[in-house]
C-alpha cells in the first residue's frame, strides 16, 4: 500500500499542470483523473484528507430512482452509470446494497406506482450488474422489518450500492494518485492566489507558493458564495440486518436506515444554515434534538440521546436565497477566472464524473487532447 506522505517542501519545486485545492473526495478524484492523463499534479488540504463532508456521508452510492420520480431521466441514467462505475473501480470498498420501501395505498407509494417506477429504474440501469427491482409481499416486508408501526400492503425492493468506508475511498484515490506521481500535502491552507500561483501556509505558518498552469478548487462547503443547508446523519446500534429501509417521518420526510457494520446510519436531516460551515457550531445541538424527534416519529424505534454513537454532520449547497431547503441536484464546474476552475459538489456519488468534466476543461485549456481513464481503471493503492 502506498503511504500518503505529506510533502510540503516539494510543492514549490515544480510548475504543476494542475494545482488542486481541497483533499475531500472531489479533490482526490480530480488528482487521480489528472495523473492518469499524464499531468503533473499538486494537491493541498488544510486539515486531514477526507475529514470534512466526505467522511459524513450516509454511504449511499445512489442510483437514479429519486431522479426518475422527479422526471429527470438524463440524471437518473447518469447516476445509474456512476453507480456501476464505482462498483467496478473500487470492488473492495463499494458493495451492492438492498433497499426496501414498505408500501401503503398512498398515490406515490402503492405497489402499482412503485412497480412501474422500479421497471423504469431497471430500464435506465439496463447495463447494471445489480439484481432487478421487485415488489415483495407484505409478509416478506414484515419479516425483513419486524418493528414497522403499521402493516404494509407490500414492499418495493431494489439495489443501490454502499461504500464500506467513505474516508477509505477518498484515501484510496489519493494513494493511487501519489503512486503515479502526485505531490500532496495535509495541513496546508490556501489563503490567496495571484494569477496562477496559489499562496498557502503550513501548520507552522510557513508560506508556500505553488505554481500551476491551471488550478482546480474543490473546497466543498467552503466554496465562496454558496447558500448552505446543515445535513445530519445519526449512527446508532444496529437496528436490523441486510436491508436499508426507506421510511417516512410524521412530517413526510423520507429517511433511510442503512446497515453499516455493527451500526445503523439514519439520515438525512436537512435545515437551512445561515452560519459559516463549522461542524462544531453550538447551534447544531438543537438540530440533533429535532432530528431525534423526527426519527422517533417514524415509529420503528424509540431512540434517546444515549443511543447515539456518533453524529455525522456536514453542509451542502442549496438553491441561492432559498427560504426552504432546496438541495442542488447537480454539481457544476465553473471557470471563475482564466484557467481557474471551481467545483460545486452535491453528492459523493458524482465526484468521479465532475472530476472528469473538470480535467476535460483543464486539458482543453492546456491543449492536451487526453482521454479520461477513470471509468475504466481499477483504483489500486
Ligand X SMILES: Cc1cc2nc3c(=O)[nH]c(=O)nc-3n(C[C@H](O)[C@H](O)[C@H](O)COP(=O)(O)OP(=O)(O)OC[C@H]3O[C@@H](n4cnc5c(N)ncnc54)[C@H](O)[C@@H]3O)c2cc1C
Which residues of the shown chain bind ligand X in the complex (CB under 6 A)?
21-27, 44-47, 51-54, 56-60, 62, 189-190, 218-222, 231-233, 267-268, 312, 314, 316, 345-349
Q: Which grid coordinates belong to 175?
A: 494513494
Q: How far is the CB of 53 from ligand X (least distance, A)?
A: 3
Q: Using alpha carbons only, give the angle 217, 349, 375 rounded to the nearest 5 degrees.
A: 85
Task: Output the smallest distance, CB 127 to ligand X, in A.
Answer: 20
- Residue 108 Cβ vs ligand X, minimum distance, rounded to whole Å: 22
Q: How far is the CB of 68 from ligand X (least distance, A)?
A: 17
Compare residues 154 and 175 and give the one whose CB is closer to ligand X.
Answer: 175
Nearer to ligand X, 102 or 314 (CB): 314
- Residue 189 vs residues 9, 204, 343: alpha-carbon distances, Å: 14, 11, 18
Cell numbers for 118, please give them: 422500479
Q: State the Cα–Cα distance between residues 59 and 53, nearest whole angstrom.
A: 11
Q: Give me the phi and psi of 362, to 5 degrees please.
A: -60, -50
Smallest distance, ligand X to C-beta of residue 34, A: 15
Min separation Cβ 49 and ligand X, Å: 7
User: Cβ closer to ligand X: 45 or 152?
Assistant: 45
Percent of the chain that is helix, strand, coil (3-state, to 5): 30, 30, 40
- Shortest Å, Cβ 345 to ligand X: 3
Q: Which is nearer to ligand X, 37 or 46 (CB)?
A: 46
Q: Are 134 and 117 in contact (CB under 8 A)?
A: no
Question: Which residue lies nearer to ligand X by CB, 53 or 121?
Answer: 53
Residue with smaller CB distance to ligand X, 147 or 293:
293
What are the cell numbers at 36?
492518469
366 vs 368: CA distance, rounded Å? 5
Residue 80, SS3 per DSSP? helix
Cα separation of 294 and 165, whole Å?
26
Chain Cα centroid distance, residue 173: 14
Q: Give the residue with the Cβ less far from ligand X, 152 or 259.
A: 259
Q: Which residue in 270, 279, 258, 262 sits closest to 231, CA to CA?
A: 270
**Of 30 and 239, which has the nearer Cβ to ligand X?**
30
Question: Smallest distance from the beta carbon of 139 to ligand X, in angstroms?
Answer: 30
CB of 232 to ligand X, least distance (A): 6
Spatial separation of the C-alpha atoms in residues 216 and 67, rounded to whole Å: 28
For ligand X, give the closer residue by CB, 218 or 239.
Answer: 218
- Identify the CA nearest to 6 among candidates 206, 194, 165, 192: 206
DSSP state letters, 270-320: EEEE-S---TT-TTHHHHHHHHHHHHHHHSS----GGG-SEEEEEEEEEST
Measured in whole angstroms, how far is the alpha carbon of residue 340 from the centre of its chain? 23
Residue number of the CB closest to ligand X reads 24
Amino acid at each position: 500500500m502506498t503511504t500518503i506522505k505529506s510533502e510540503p517542501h516539494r510543492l514549490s519545486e515544480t510548475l504543476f499542470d494542475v494545482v488542486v485545492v481541497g483533499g475531500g473526495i472531489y479533490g482526490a478524484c480530480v488528482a487521480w483523473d489528472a495523473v492518469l492523463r499524464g499531468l503533473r499534479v499538486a494537491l493541498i488540504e488544510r486539515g486531514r484528507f477526507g475529514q470534512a463532508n466526505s467522511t459524513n456521508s450516509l454511504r449511499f452510492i445512489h442510483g437514479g430512482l429519486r431522479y426518475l420520480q422527479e422526471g429527470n431521466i438524463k440524471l437518473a441514467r447518469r447516476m445509474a452509470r456512476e453507480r456501476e462505475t464505482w462498483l467496478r473501480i473500487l470492488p473492495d470498498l463499494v458493495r451492492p446494497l438492498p433497499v426496501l420501501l414498505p408500501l401503503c395505498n398512498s398515490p406515490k407509494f402503492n405497489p402499482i406506482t412503485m412497480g412501474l417506477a422500479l421497471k423504469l429504474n431497471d430500464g435506465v440501469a439496463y447495463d447494471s450488474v445489480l439484481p432487478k427491482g421487485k415488489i415483495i409481499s407484505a409478509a416478506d416486508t414484515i419479516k425483513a422489518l419486524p418493528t414497522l408501526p403499521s402493516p404494509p400492503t407490500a414492499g418495493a425492493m431494489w439495489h443501490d450500492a454502499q461504500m464500506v468506508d467513505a474516508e477509505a475511498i477518498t484515501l484510496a484515490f489519493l494513494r493511487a494518485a501519489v503512486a503515479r506521481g502526485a505531490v500532496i500535502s495535509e495541513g496546508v491552507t490556501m489563503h490567496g492566489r495571484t494569477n496562477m500561483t496559489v499562496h498557502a501556509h503550513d501548520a507552522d505558518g510557513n508560506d508556500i507558493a505553488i505554481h500551476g498552469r491551471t488550478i482546480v478548487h474543490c473546497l466543498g462547503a467552503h466554496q465562496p458564495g454558496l447558500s448552505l443547508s446543515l445535513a445530519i446523519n445519526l449512527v446508532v446500534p444496529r437496528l436490523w440486518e441486510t436491508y436499508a429501509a426507506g421510511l417516512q417521518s410524521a412530517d413526510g420526510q423520507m429517511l433511510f436506515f442503512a446497515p453499516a457494520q455493527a451500526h445503523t446510519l439514519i439520515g438525512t436531516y436537512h435545515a437551512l444554515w445561515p452560519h459559516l460551515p463549522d461542524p462544531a457550531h453550538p447551534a447544531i445541538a438543537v438540530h440533533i434534538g429535532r432530528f431525534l424527534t423526527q426519527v422517533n416519529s417514524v415509529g420503528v424505534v424509540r431512540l434517546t440521546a444515549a443511543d447515539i454513537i456518533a453524529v455525522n454532520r456536514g453542509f451542502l449547497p442549496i438553491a441561492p436565497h432559498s427560504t426552504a431547503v432546496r438541495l442542488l441536484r447537480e454539481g457544476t464546474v465553473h471557470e471563475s477566472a482564466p484557467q481557474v476552475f471551481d467545483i460545486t459538489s452535491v453528492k459523493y456519488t458524482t465526484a468521479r464524473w465532475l472530476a472528469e468534466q473538470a480535467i476535460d476543461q483543464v486539458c482543453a485549456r492546456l491543449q492536451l487532447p487526453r482521454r479520461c481513464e477513470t471509468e475504466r481503471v481499477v483504483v489500486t493503492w
